[in-house]
Amino acid sequence: MNKKTGTLSRRKFIAGAGAMSGILLTGCDTDIYTPPAIRSGLMGVSDVLTMASQRLLMSGQGLVKEFETSDITKDFPAWGGTNPEDENYQRLASTGFTDWSLSVGGLVNRPSSFSLLDLKRLPPRTQTTMHICEQGWSAIAQWTGVPLTTLLEAAGGVKQEARYVVIDTYDGWYDAYDMFDVVHPQTILAYGLNGKDVPQGNGAPIRLRVERHCGYRNLKFLKSVQVVASVEDIGLGKGGLLSDYNWHWYAGA
């Protein structure tokens, strides 16, 4: 985890805004987003993850709209970071990510590492959804990947104290997701984009899809998944790179 990523300027972050065509313009629909601090404490996470069907938890949470394949946007943009400078990332990329693995640790019962092949062997989910970037564009794509709950189950399930899943990436971005997002059926670790491997610009080999959230929370270039009880020790303590630097794009922040 990059503790103090002081070098990531907003300008660099929004670089690459030009050169796109055929992309729908919409605002980021944040009506349904409630920050974790307000939502926490509603329900113990052990209850959450042991609810076999998760129906109770999900009853107040809708799925986002899924589209037809004919709705898919031609040339899904590669936005923000597209090629992490990280030496390890470059080495892994040079061999087609055959040596890449995702560590899943923290408050799980069986901390584990998953290769790309391991992840592809877990039961997948495919969804065609609209990505909405807070910076004013949106595009529809079909994503295939392993649901985050399935991954956590493959790591033995989470411990009683688990409250957030923290994801770290190869370009210094990190974010934390509460259990409502974690168990949401459309929260997947995607290795496929429109039927092919996720291209490097879109987060190879694996990127997160948290469909109810704005673009920036859909982390690319995943490095690790860590289950924690608190985000105090993560980054500067607010749970995500952008929160740490007060770049709040959701409504009311």
Ligand X SMILES: Nc1nc2c(c(=O)[nH]1)N[C@H]1C(S)=C(S)[C@@H](COP(=O)(O)O)O[C@H]1N2
In the complex, which residues of this chain contact Mo ion (CB under 5 A)? 133, 215-216
Give the Cα separation of 72 and 244 in Å (integer): 34
User: Closest separation between CB of residue 8 and ligand X, Å?
Assistant: 9
Q: Closer to ligand X at the Cβ: 80 or 147?
A: 80
Give the Cα separation of 144 and 250 in Å (integer): 26
Residues 108-167 that bind ligand X (CB under 6 A): 133
Q: Could you check whether the bond before residue 147 is cis, i.e. omega within 30 degrees of 0? A: no
Among 163, 184, 220, 223, contact with ligand X (rule: CB under 6 A): 220
Determine if 225 is a binding residue for ligand X (CB under 6 A): no
Q: Closer to ligand X at the Cβ: 166 or 219?
A: 219
Determine if 79 is a binding residue for ligand X (CB under 6 A): yes
User: Closest separation between CB of residue 216 and Mo ion, Å?
Assistant: 4
Q: Could you tell me the two tokens for 252?
A: 């009311």
186 to each of 2, 181, 196, 249, how far by Cα in Å? 28, 9, 19, 21
203 to each of 46, 180, 193, 200, 219, how far by Cα in Å? 31, 24, 10, 5, 8
Residue 197: closest CA among 68, 100, 103, 113: 100
Among 80, 145, 235, 240, contact with ligand X (rule: CB under 6 A): 80
User: Closest separation between CB of residue 198 and ligand X, Å?
Assistant: 8
Among 130, 190, 219, 234, contact with ligand X (rule: CB under 6 A): 219
Binding site for ligand X (CB under 6 A): 77-81, 133, 169, 171, 173, 201-203, 215-216, 218-221
